[in-house]
Amino acid sequence: MNDNQLLRYSRQIMLPQCDIEGQLKLLAAKVLIIGAGGLGSPAAMYLAAAGVGHISIADHDIVDLSNLQRQIAHCNDDIGVNKAISTAQTLNDLNPDIAVHVIKQKLAGDELDTEVRKADVVLDCSDNFTTRFAVNSACVKYHKPLVSGAAIRFEGQVSVFTPGSNDSPCYNCLYTNDGEELQNCATNGVMAPITGIVGSVQALEAIKLIIATGEPLIGRLLLLDGLSMEWNTMKFRKNANCPTCSSK
């Protein structure tokens, strides 16, 4: 690291759980973020600020006015711009030392496999059932850690999956793929700070995985009720009959 980097990351470096070694791991890490909306915006910004050296951001959607209430990586001038491109501009302004890879098409099939295979950690910041199960399957296939988040109304949740290690369950162990679409913010609404809280927790969990510290949310679903401001944790186990990970 050069002198500017030592100063930029000094408040993390002074933490014994991070130190110089941990910061070097962050600088070398490759993180894939699926979705540049309410969750992906704060997650990407905090990962960039923390010095994650290689961030790939995937989103095929464009910014519209209704996004600006919660998707803080975008501003008025970005309306009509692809969200991945807009987010990359924000991240580069925030930390020009990092490399940001823009994926402005919907990731699926071989392209999703390719991007997941290259990543050290994957963050699922999407808002639909189909994407969540596809990302989970790819992470199970390539044994890639997955940090999954969701937010709706005044509620949020986060969990971590590490397929192939720690006897970790996968997303499909927690939720069954019965073809029913999850509720989303467009149809049910969401309070802006909830997405910021969940996205920030996702960023923290990714950092913990990268620098190998603390206890990631493996086998635990962290639940937030923003109206009562109560946090709860639900424990769950690997499903021996899971159609995605039971034979992996």
Domain annotation covers residue 245: no
The rounded distance, in Å, linking the Cα atoms of 193 and 146 is: 23
What is the value of pTM for the model shown? 0.93
Domain span holding position 63: 3-235
The rounded distance, in Å, linking the Cα atoms of 246 and 137 is: 12
Q: Return the pLDDT at 167.
A: 87
Domains in the chain, number:
1
Domain annotation covers residue 221: yes
Domain annotation covers residue 241: no
Cβ atoms within 10 Å of 139's Cβ, excluding its own: 30
Active site annotation includes 185: yes
- The CA-atom distances, in angstroms, between 248 and each of 27, 143, 174, 191, 233 are 31, 9, 16, 38, 27
Output the six-digit token pair for 213.
């510290």
| % the chain with pLDDT above 90 | 88
Instruction: Give the chain's mean pLDDT.
Output: 93
Domain annotation covers residue 240: no
Domain annotation covers residue 160: yes
Domain annotation covers residue 111: yes
Q: Return the pLDDT at 185.
A: 56
Q: Return the pLDDT at 248.
A: 45
Q: How many CA atoms lie within 13 A of 7 on its CB side?
A: 3
Q: Return the pLDDT at 184.
A: 58
- The CA-atom distances, in angstroms, between 47 and each of 56, 203, 225 are 11, 6, 25
**Catalytic-labelled residue, pool 170, 185, 242, 245:** 185
The torsion angles phi and psi of 102, rounded to 5 degrees, stand at -95, 130
Domain annotation covers residue 242: no
pLDDT in tens, 166-212: 789 999 999 987 755 555 556 778 999 999 999 999 999 999 999 99
CATH number at residue 114: 3.40.50.720
Decide if pLDDT at 63 tops 60.
yes
Cβ atoms within 10 Å of 188's Cβ, excluding its own: 10
Domain annotation covers residue 104: yes
Which of 35, 33, 73, 30 minimizes the C-alpha distance to 52?
A: 30
Q: Are 143 and 208 in contact (CB under 8 A)?
A: no
Instruction: Please report which helix (H) or strand (E) contains residue 148, including its range.
Output: strand 146-152
Mean pLDDT of 9-25: 96
pLDDT in tens, 72-118: 999 999 999 999 999 999 999 999 999 999 999 999 999 999 999 99
